[in-house]
Structure 1
Amino acid sequence: MKNIYMFFLFFFSFTSIGNATEEIEKRSTEEYEEETPWINGFHSAVSDSVYMSAAWFDEFFTEEGSVQQNPKVNAKIRLEWRPRSRDWDEIKARFRVKVKLPHFKNKVDLILSDEDEADQSQLPLETTHIQPEEEKFSASLRYMHTNSKNKYTDTRLGISGGDIFVRARHKRYFNWSENSAFKVEPSIFYFLGDGFGSRLLLEYNFQEDQKTQYRINYSIEGSESFSGIRWKHGLYRLKHLDEKTASVTSFQVEGERNGERDFVVDNYTLSYRYRFNAYKKWLFFEIEPFLEWPEIENYTTTPGIAFRVEGYFYKG
């Protein structure tokens, strides 16, 4: 039972803000008491601002005379500088806000982001993917039909990059031993401008010990907006170094098949991602050196490094 508990704890450590912050909040807060007060004020101001906006939105769905319930808000702000060979100007600032609406029995989320929330081309742990030059603001409502330990189903309706979309997704987890787990995640979607599409994500996880996990991902996607099928493989080694630090070593290959160019590999990526918590319990830093071999550069070795600062704001 202990191994099973450790497996699920580590399995969600890189995909869920809640699990990451929960472990950190268990530590003593004495180390933060003498810190500069301005950053505490900044964190409170952002959290309060997001919370008040969420409460205002949720009031539209409150029946007259009913008891007021407080929404739960999670917000993430990320600053990233990602210099590459031949490209030193790639600086990005990103935000994502998720609001649980209590008057829908916490089955509905409002998600706002300046990233393409409808884009499923990235694997769950992928971070070095080249982003499009055009920024895409996304707003969507997500309804959770099923949310249990081994099964999750949701539907999302929203707008992304000026295009209205709807997407249905199902996740299913299978565990056949204490150290092995398998995830199947099919989804279908429809864009008003691009038409129908579908995607299948397969994932296998092997827990070597309490601090080390290996993960293999495979994703295929088809859509009326492009010919052929796009695919992507990912191999990862996740390492829990201590209570404040973790690392991910990854190798990814992506391309397409059955299209106008038949079978082609678009890019190879090898990276090492080092993540740590410092200064405040809600503040995280990342350093990720990587190597790419893109087709557009004739598979020439392209080195790069990413520096990231992420702040998490939560209330409710």
Structure 2
Amino acid sequence: MRYWLLLTILWIAPVYSWWPQPVLLPEDAAARLPDMAAPPETVAEPQQTLAADGSLESSRAWLAGYLNSVSGSLDSFFVDAFFGDDLIGDDVSGTRGKISMATRKVSGDALEFKFGVSVKLDLPNTNDRLKLLIESDEEDDGVQQNFLDSVDNTSYSTALRFLVNERAAWRTDFDVGIRGGLPFNPFSRFRARRYAYLSEWEMRATQTLYYFRDDGWGEDTELRLDYPLNTEKLFRINTRARYLLDNRFFDLNYDLALYHELGPHSVLAYNAGASGDSAQGATFYSYYAGVRYRRQVYRDWMFFEIAPQFEWHRDTDYRTRPVLMLRLESLISKD
């Protein structure tokens, strides 16, 4: 019986190299965020009684090295959590909040200010299936030329999110809420998200259907692809198409980013993107390219960010416009 066990393990180890890997959901990534590499003890323990066989030990060492190299890559959840860009839309359990104060200076224009808040609160006694969402409006009309005005004039949306289904690679949820002040703009929103691996690419596809009283019916289709280059760099492709039934055309957005972890407290991102619509065929009329440097400045929840970039827009005859953005942000989480 012991020899059959040895032959079985020796056969499984090489097959593991080409067998499709299970999807790593953000909840799993969050659990190992403090230490991005999986501890080797978790792989080595089962071999204590079988280590005498040389060929078996070499297979075990190869498998342990492979798992360690995969888990040691810069994690997409680390990037998302560090930058806090998708606090409401992510699928990580626990109460999370973000408060940000940002300035934006375009060459030749006045200094602009924007205040932002987003909160995702797990409601007690619901087994993480019901959440309260509060988020400031991200549209451009929230930008003001005075910081106090940006705080006073910020509009918010409030919603209840119900987790419909959660599996290894699928997640679906349903939101009901109100956006803006009086008169109320009620909305409902259904979202389905799929996680998968395509060779070494990690894919996240999201389809959202929604109805706003003021805007009518619409849908968003998003695709995000992450490729870990090594333990310090992650390459990301983002695409989004938004369709409003009343407009009868798509708003299109594409961007590329290379995230470079400089250390445990700082990340540098190189990004570029384009936006447009399909009103007269697929046309892109706004472009940007720049860098984002983000650093923890106090404990593990206060961040400062500086982001210089260049913009080219059809409204300015594609003239190069330097832009400088500064942001001070607090990210609060309770898992």
Q: Report the AA paired with residue 198 of structure 2.
A: W
Q: How many residues align?
A: 250
SS at match of 1:278: strand
Q: Report the AA paired with residue 217 of structure 1.
A: N
Matching of residues 261-272 of structure 1 within 5 Å = 261-272=280-291
Tell me the residue number matched to 2:70: 4
Alignment check: 8 A CA contact 2:115 2:154 kept: no
Structure 1 CA distance for aligned equivalents of residues 300 and 275 of structure 2: 35
Q: Which of 148, 152, 158 in structure 2 is aligned with 1:139? A: 158
How far 1:84 sits from its partner (Å)?
A: 0.9
Alignment check: 8 A CA contact 2:79 2:259 kept: no
Tell me the residue number matched to 2:21: none
Distance change (3 Å), C-alpha of 1:170 and 1:205: same
Q: Report the AA paired with residue 173 of structure 1.
A: Y
SS at match of 1:219: strand
Q: Tell whether 2:100 aligns with 1:78.
A: yes
Matching of residues 99-110 of structure 1 within 5 Å = 99-110=121-132
Q: Report the AA paired with residue 225 of structure 1.
A: D
Q: CA RMSD in A?
A: 2.5
How far 1:266 sits from its partner (Å)?
A: 2.8
Q: Tell whether 2:323 aligns with 1:304.
A: yes
Alignment check: 8 A CA contact 1:221 1:230 kept: yes
Q: Which of 106, 109, 112 in structure 1 is aligned with 2:134? A: 112
Structure 2 CA distance for aligned equivalents of residues 145 and 4 of structure 1: 31
Q: Tell whether 2:268 aligns with 1:247.
A: yes
Structure 1 gaps of 5+ residues are: 21-70, 120-129
SS at match of 2:319: coil
Alignment check: 8 A CA contact 2:84 2:98 kept: no
TM-score normalised by length of structure 2: 0.68
Structure 2 CA distance for aligned equivalents of residues 15 and 109 of structure 1: 20
Distance change (3 Å), C-alpha of 1:16 and 1:108: farther
Structure 2 CA distance for aligned equivalents of residues 173 and 314 of structure 1: 23
How far 1:291 sits from its partner (Å)?
A: 0.7
Alignment check: 8 A CA contact 1:12 1:19 kept: no
Distance change (3 Å), C-alpha of 1:185 and 1:3: farther
Q: Tell whether 2:242 aligns with 1:221.
A: yes
Distance change (3 Å), C-alpha of 1:240 and 1:4: same
Alignment check: 8 A CA contact 1:13 1:19 kept: no
Alignment check: 8 A CA contact 1:283 1:310 kept: yes
Alignment check: 8 A CA contact 1:158 1:164 kept: yes
Structure 1 CA distance for aligned equivalents of residues 115 and 106 of structure 2: 17
Identity %: 24
Q: Tell whether 2:107 aligns with 1:15.
A: no
Q: Tell whether 2:273 aligns with 1:208.
A: no
Larger of the two Rg values belongs to structure: 2
Distance change (3 Å), C-alpha of 1:131 and 1:217: farther
Distance change (3 Å), C-alpha of 1:310 and 1:228: same
Distance change (3 Å), C-alpha of 1:74 and 1:182: closer
TM-score normalised by length of structure 1: 0.72
Alignment check: 8 A CA contact 1:77 1:311 kept: yes
Distance change (3 Å), C-alpha of 1:194 and 1:305: same
Structure 2 CA distance for aligned equivalents of residues 3 and 170 of structure 1: 31
Q: Report the AA paired with residue 11 of structure 1.
A: S
Structure 2 CA distance for aligned equivalents of residues 244 and 148 of structure 1: 33
Structure 2 gaps of 5+ residues are: 1-66, 86-92, 144-152
Alignment check: 8 A CA contact 1:76 1:95 kept: yes
Distance change (3 Å), C-alpha of 1:192 and 1:250: same
Structure 2 CA distance for aligned equivalents of residues 202 and 167 of structure 1: 18
Tell me the residue number matched to 2:254: 233
Q: Tell whether 2:174 aligns with 1:152.
A: no
Alignment check: 8 A CA contact 1:72 1:101 kept: no
SS at match of 1:12: helix
Q: Report the AA paired with residue 229 of structure 1.
A: F
How far 1:142 sits from its partner (Å)?
A: 1.0
How far 1:18 sits from its partner (Å)?
A: 11
How far 1:85 sits from its partner (Å)?
A: 1.5
SS at match of 1:76: strand
Distance change (3 Å), C-alpha of 1:180 and 1:200: same
Structure 1 CA distance for aligned equivalents of residues 251 and 277 of structure 2: 4
